[in-house]
Structure 1
Amino acid sequence: MNLKGATFSIFAIVIVLSMILPIPPSLLDVLIAINLSLALVIFLNSINIKEALDFSVFPSLLLFTTLLRLALNISTTRQILTGQGENVRIVYTFGNFVIGSNIVVGVIIFFIIIIIQFIVITRGAERVSEVAARFTLDAMPGKQMAVDADLNAGIITEEEARERRKKIQKEADFYGAMDGASKFVKGDAIAAILITFINALGGLIIGVAMRGEDVTEAIQKYLLLSVGDGIAAQIPALLISTATGIVVTKAADASKLSESLIKQLFEFHPKVLYTVGGILAALALIPTMPKLSLFFLSGAMFAMGFRMDSSLKKIESIEEKQVEQKEVEELKKPENVVNLLYVDPIEVEFGYGIIPLADKDQGGDLLERVVMIRRQLALELGIIVPTIRLRDNMALKPYEYRINIKGVEVARAELMSDSLLAINPGFVTEQIEGIPTKEPAFGLDALWISSSMKERAEMAGYTVVDLPSVIATHLTEIIRRHAHELLTRQDVQKLIDNVKETNPVLVDELIPKLMTVGEVQKVLANLLKERISIRDMVTILETLADWAPTTKDTDVLTEYVRQAMARYITKKYVSGNVLEAIALSPEVEEMIMNSIQKTEQGSFLNLPPDYVQKLINNLSNILEKLVNVSAQPIVICSPIVRIYFRRLIENIFPDVVVLSYNEILPSVQIKTVGMVEF
């Protein structure tokens, strides 16, 4: 134990022992002075702290100071009742100062101090502590969720999140402890009243009955000493009670209480001082009012207001010049050119009319939806979605927005203010009042309707969504379509590192001995391009480790990975136990296989243009016949043909899914609904 700890422990033991052992009057004076000094230190510290947690030891300190005052009360009571109370000079001086020449007035003043201490300060501090503890504990889950949201959005780092969580826990512990510790302050105030009454009554009985003192002299003597003892205890108690109220009412302001009071009371609103000065001048005109003092205060208020007004204007002028100078200096810095080279992976720009949808202060929840999009796509596709930047663009129409991928616009849409979007799923025939439009994410027929039409539209079968949902859905679909472009080598390395924590042997076998991070990235990008989740990285890497020794072609390796994920693919595309799909004729498959050419850069399909056109036309005719039968057209073919046929049609039919027979579980029955032929 260090010296500070030993000293504190010894002092605490001395306090407890002083309740039992008699203390000489001279030492008792010293201890009372220490108690008063400690109360002043606590009071001044509570004023100067910036936030409540800066004084986190305060709840324990309340118990310690309460114990100290009670011990001193017991010791002074012993001195008073044994007839030696006048030797405790601080007690005698306080009593003589308050009582003076009039006992009744002195006692009344003492009880007024007790009332202020008990009813006003102590009860108020106790109630504030109780409410602060309750609201802090109730707000704790919300604060934790806010930290998680900022972490997921990339606003803070993991270490900053850890520190904020720790601070939230400390706040909960502190206010919970303050709720209990405030009961010590209340109990101390009650004890002071009882001890004063006991001292006065007990001293009077002992003095008159046992020592034969005169009644009048005994009343004067013991009331004086009792009140002196009460004042000596109540002044520190009052200071600490006030400090308790200051600490628990301290808002999360990064400045001291004294600075905040002066700044917020006088510096922000000079017009308030002018108003007060005018009111005081008007009061001075009333007869019998103290005109000199009121006119003096009125003039002081006007002078302070004028000074504050001039200071604010001067500060605003200086700040404007500093901002302008800083902007000029920033533009001159050579490193700013480097900053201009950075391109945001995903960016949503919107007109000024959409700003309230992204502003929390105006009730907008678009930011929260963006955070949820990142979490949703992490679960759905297994990718780390980069931070999505939202910013306003005055060049756009008020309710127009556009989505950029790597600085290039990929989508744009315009909303209608104060309206809802009623989407026709495809089977609704009832006509409702609205402005025809297209749903931006999937191009479905839709209507802009008023809020009053929502219930009717839903009853008719329309899917009704609000404006933030339109933007969020569109953004989610765009990210799905371009996920393969957003996946970087750095992201792949993070995914590999995550697998390495639980499967180090697998990662060490594959990278870098068999494949590079770049080659793994190409395989993952191929999967994401066809919306196959890469969340099961263990299966993907194990398959690559199995086949990488035999081939370096990332397209072929992608096919092996897809076959290893047959269970996932089957569940994704097969409803029930039957797969309705369009098949390729044997002639088409043979033609494609014979047209595959392999080079050092990879394999590609070299079909004559007229054959390609015939295939596209044939497939188009089949899809037109199936448009009302299947929501998602699926083509099935042999494994070796799949990748090449997919690339052949992906630009014309991006939504057509191409599967191989090896990607479907054997238990699934394949039903051919069309045949692609030449």
Structure 2
Amino acid sequence: MNALTNFFNMPGLRAGAQMKALAGPLLIVMILGMMILPLPAVVLDLLFTFNIALSIMVLLVGMYTQKALDFAAFPAVLLFTTLLRLSLNVASTRVVLLEGHTGPDAAGKVIEAFGHFLVGGNFAVGIVVFAILVVINFMVITKGAGRIAEVGARFMLDAMPGKQMAIDADLNAGLINEEGAKKRRAEVAQESDFYGAMDGASKFVRGDAVAGLLIMFINIAAGMVVGMVQHDLDFSTAVRNYTLLTIGDGLVAQIPALIISTAAGVIVSRVSNEQDVGQQLTGQLFSNPRVMFLTAGIIGLMGIIPGMPHFAFLLLAGSLAWFGRYTLRRDAAAARNEKKSNERAPTVAPETTEATWDDVTLVDPLGMEVGYRLITLVDRGQNGELLGRIKSIRKKIAQDIGFLVPVVHIRDNLELKPNAYRITLKGVEIGQGEATPGQWMAINPGQVTGTLPGAATRDPAFGLPAVWIDAGLKEQAQAYGYTVVDASTVVATHLNHLIQMHASELLGRQEVQALLDRIAKDSPKLTEDLVPKTITLTGLQKVLQNLLDEGVPIRDMRTILDVIAEHAPKISEPTELTALVRMALGRAITQQLFPNNADLQVISLDAGLERVLTQALSNGGGIEPGLADALLQQASGAVARQEQLGLDPVLLVPSPLRPLMARFLRRTLPQLKVLSHAEVPDNRNIRITAMIGGAA
């Protein structure tokens, strides 16, 4: 009782929704009650009348269905109507056998009417009519509908890959958006589900027909035994009473079964949606007022036929007519409100059939795709905190490296795992990971004092071992020495790291021009004759990209432009201009690597190795393979030693070797920064902490 009270008191659940949600359970309870509890004749009349009305409604709904997904609940309707007819057979059989000796109206007026009016009181004619109806239902309609469903299911499964490819093609061509593609994929899957369900649901009707035959023979035989043995009826009276009652009972059940089978042949669609069966039944059966009016008219005409129980038929017909009028008024009011809303809304020009340049979809310079469980982090309507963090990241990067990176375009991607995300650069994935909203990532920096329960993972930005923990373990994780961050911080840190790594690719000609325009506001003379007279915009972009590739910020654009303006008339090679710019920015580069005027604790090259590399550079050749392998191996060991000492790995080389060593080591050891002697200010002390080539 408390559970039912809590159900009705659920916030936001209206009375209509409550009744829809209870329709399915109430129907099951009613069916079970009819099988177990004895029912009086008047209740049987109402239930048989309801069964007939329900079958007519199902048939009309099927006929008014305009496309495949309009009547999703039909297989469930087929199951419930079959159970309803069988439960009515059980209830009527009980009454027939208990009260059949009292006369032909023992089981109610409806059974009496079908036993007398439809077959003229002749039980032989009734048996023949009943057998014909069973044959039509079992051999013709049900068998044909089952075959259609079987073939449709096979063809639908074969066509699914092609339909999915067509949806993807329309999405890639820009004919539909992500939401439209999602809806169409769901429809394809739902159509396939329907045909498979219809193939199995047709077996319900076939089983019902067989059960009707068996029930008829059992009732006749058992009725004669009960009538003659228990109630002392003579043979002719027993045969007449129990056979007419059985024939009436069989006909009143088989006629709705025949109508339902016809509806199964008409319906060609079924969908699976998020509603339960009760909501599907009430929402789809009682949504069309025309169905209500036509059903009410048919039931009303049947109610005025002489010999029919007028009260039951006319009562149900009046109820259906009232409900149809109510539904019609409700739909008309909704249409008027929609018309008023459309009149207030701005008019939309009709879609053109010719392709234009507006149909060309360009890739986003910087994008992020998220699984559906991460949508809350990026949804403005739900105050997604990741959006604010991304804005802060762009602002921080603009201050750190000296230009504004493009806006991050965020969209959902149902093909990703629910907790997954991926980051794209010009449409190509550059990073991916997973985050768990509501939990915290405890990152192991290397010196933790305990272990934590949770899902083991790795920090997507730096690859450190980590574990996803509940919020209640946050303080314990911090006490153990873990670095604890929430899901949005994990994604934001990963995004920030990738932007820093690919900053040079994000610096396009448009961003370079914006930088020049920004400098021109404060120092117009600096840019007045620089581009394109001294250097082209492309050449300037290449120099700036080279600096960003090596982790050098371009905040000091005045110094950069001064150096280029001085040397570009004589030097056009971007690599040489980059080296000159680095020398001018040497103090800033050194300060970035070794802040607070600390000693420069660096890795150096052995003098012999320097001579070999200088000779290879002067001869115009590259590094020999054997020397390259040894150089990489020793460089890796030196970097590891620097990191163990808690020092940043920096390699100090002569100026001519710096571009060569930077290009050679950048791919394998991206954390190793290469610095030239010319870039180190005179007032900074240098300490060699590791040597490459000394043992060679």
SS of the aligned residue for 2:422 comes to strand
In the alignment, structure 1 residue 551 sits paired with structure 2 residue 571: yes
SS in 2 for 1:595: helix
Matched residue, 1:346:
366
Query: How far is 1:336 from its partner?
Result: 5.9
How many angstroms apart in 2 are the aligned matches of 1:542 and 1:530? 20
Alignment of 1:23-422 (within 5 A): 309-313=331-335, 329=351, 332-335=353-356, 338-340=359-361, 342-422=362-442
Shift in Å, 1:327: 12
Contact 1:403 1:409 (C-alpha < 8 Å) held by counterparts: yes
Residue 648 of structure 2: SS of its match in structure 1? coil
Distance 1:605 1:540, change over 3 A: farther
- Asked if the contact 2:639/2:672 (under 8 Å) is kept, the reply is no
Cα 1:318–1:482 change in 2 (3 A) is farther
| 1:645 and 2:664 matched | no
Quick check: 2:505–2:545 contact (8 Å CA) kept in 1?
Answer: yes
User: Quick check: 2:372–2:419 contact (8 Å CA) kept in 1?
Assistant: yes
Aligned counterpart, 1:619: 635
1:514-533 counterparts in 2 under 5 A? Answer: 514-533=534-553
- What residue in structure 2 maps to residue 119 of structure 1? none
Counterparts of 1:429 and 1:390, CA distance in 2: 39
In the alignment, the residues of structure 1 paired with residue 617 and residue 337 of structure 2 have an alpha-carbon distance, to the nearest angstrom, of 75
Structure 1 residue corresponding to 2:598, chosen from 574, 577, 598? 577
Gap change, CA 1:633 and 1:327, over 3 Å in 2: farther
Mapped contact 1:527–1:533 kept (Cα < 8 A): yes
Is the counterpart of residue 592 in structure 1 residue 613 in structure 2?
A: yes
Distance in 1, matches of 2:576 and 2:593, equals 22
Cross-structure match for 1:537: 557
CA contact (8 A) 1:597 1:606 kept: no
Native 8 Å contact 2:373 2:419 kept in 1: yes
- Which residue number corresponds to residue 508 of structure 1? 528
Match of 1:204 in 2: none
1:413 partner SS: strand
Which amino acid is 1:577 matched to? A
- 8 Å CA contact retained: 1:543, 1:561: yes
User: Secondary structure of the equivalent of 1:511?
Assistant: helix
SS state at 1:465 partner = strand
Provide the rounded CA distance (Å) in 1 between the counterparts of 2:379 and 2:478. Answer: 28
Query: Is this contact kept in 1: 2:601–2:647, CA < 8 A?
Result: no
Give the SS at the match of 2:468. strand
> Residues of 2 paired with 1:360 and 1:518: CA distance?
38
How far residue 529 of structure 1 moved from its aligned partner, in angstroms, is 0.9
Residue of structure 1 aligned with 2:460, choices 440, 446, 464: 440
**Deviation at 1:308?**
6.3
C-alpha distance in structure 2 between counterparts of 1:370 and 1:446, whole Å: 23
Q: How many angstroms does 1:565 deviate by?
A: 1.1
Deviation (angstroms), 1:312: 2.2
- Displacement of 1:542: 0.4
Contact 1:566 1:663 in 2 (8 A): yes
Q: Check whether the contact 1:522–1:554 (CA below 8 A) recurs between aligned residues.
A: yes
Amino acid at match of 2:635: L
The structural deviation recorded for 1:318 is 12
Equivalent residue in structure 1 for 2:684, among 659, 663, 668: 668
Q: CA deviation at 1:594?
A: 2.5
CA distance in 2, matches of 1:611, 1:635: 17
1:345-374: per-residue Cα shift (whole Å, max 9, x none)?
000000000001112332321111111111
Label 1:514 to 1:596 Cα distance change in 2 as closer, same or farther (>3 A): farther
CA RMSD of aligned residues (A): 2.9
Q: Distance in 1 between matches of 2:357 and 2:337?
A: 28
Q: State the one-letter code of the partner of 1:571.
A: Q
Give distance in 1, aligned partners of 2:608 and 2:384.
58
Change (3 A) 1:312 1:515: same
Counterparts of 1:346 and 1:326, CA distance in 2? 31
CA contact (8 A) 1:577 1:667 kept: no
Whole-angstrom CA distance in 2 between matches of 1:349 and 1:531: 27
1:35-55 per-position Cα deviation (integer Å, ceiling 9, x unaligned): xxxxxxxxxxxxxxxxxxxxx
Contact 1:581 1:635 in 2 (8 A): yes
Asked whether the equivalents of residues 605 and 644 of structure 1 are also in contact (C-alpha less than 8 Å), the reply is no
SS in 1 for 2:631: helix
For 1:319 and 1:349, the matched residues in 2 are separated by 34
Structure 1's 328 and 401: CA in aligned 2 closer, same or farther, altered over 3 A?
farther
Using the TM superposition, give the Cα deviation of residue 510 of structure 1 relative to its aligned residue in structure 2, in angstroms.
2.2
Q: Partner of 2:622 in structure 1?
A: 606
Letter in 2 for 1:637: V
Q: 1:476 deviation in Å?
A: 0.7
Query: What residue identity is the alignment partner of 1:538?
Result: R
Three-state SS of the structure 2 residue aligned to 1:440 is coil
Kept after mapping to 2: 8 A contact 1:345/1:486:
yes
Q: Partner of 1:280 in structure 2?
A: none
Shift in Å, 1:643: 1.1
Q: CA deviation at 1:484?
A: 0.2
Counterpart position of 1:628: 644
What CA distance in whole angstroms lies between the structure 2 residues aligned with 1:408 and 1:327? 35
Describe the shift of the 1:569–1:401 C-alpha distance in structure 2 as closer, same or farther (beyond 3 A).
Answer: same
Q: Which residue of 2 aligns with 1:29?
A: none
Q: Quote the residue 1:94 is aligned against.
A: none
- Whole-angstrom distance in 2 between the partners of 1:612 and 1:660: 20
In the alignment, the residues of structure 1 paired with residue 622 and residue 566 of structure 2 have an alpha-carbon distance, to the nearest angstrom, of: 30
The 3-state SS of whatever aligns with 1:501 is helix
Rounded Cα–Cα distance in structure 1 between residues aligned with 2:431 and 2:678: 36
Contact 1:592 1:605 in 2 (8 A): no
SS at match of 2:421: strand
Looking at structure 2, the residues matched to 594 and 499 of structure 1 have their Cα atoms a distance apart, in angstroms, of 42
**Alpha-carbon distance in 2 for matches of 1:312, 1:593:** 84
Task: Determine if contact 2:371/2:416 at 8 Å carries over to the other structure.
Answer: yes
Could you tell me which amino acid in structure 2 is paired with residue 582 of structure 1?
I
Residues 533 and 636 (structure 1), Cα distance of their counterparts in 2 relative to 1, 3 Å cut: same
Deviation at 1:549, TM superposition (A): 2.5
CA distance in 2, matches of 1:662, 1:402: 41
Instruction: Give the total of aligned pairs.
Output: 367
SS in structure 1 of the partner of residue 533 of structure 2: coil
Counterparts of 1:392 and 1:416, CA distance in 2: 16
TM-score by length of 1: 0.51
SS at match of 1:513: helix
How has the CA–CA distance of structure 1 residues 621 and 614 changed in structure 2, closer, same or farther, with 3 Å as cutoff? same
CA–CA separation in structure 2 for the residues paired with 1:428 and 1:622: 25
TM-score normalized by the length of structure 2: 0.50
The code of the aligned residue for 2:334 comes to: L
Q: Deviation at 1:587?
A: 2.5
Deviation at 1:512, TM superposition (A): 1.9
Structure 1 residue identity aligned to 2:399: L
Distance 1:401 1:625 in 2: 35
Letter in 2 for 1:372: S
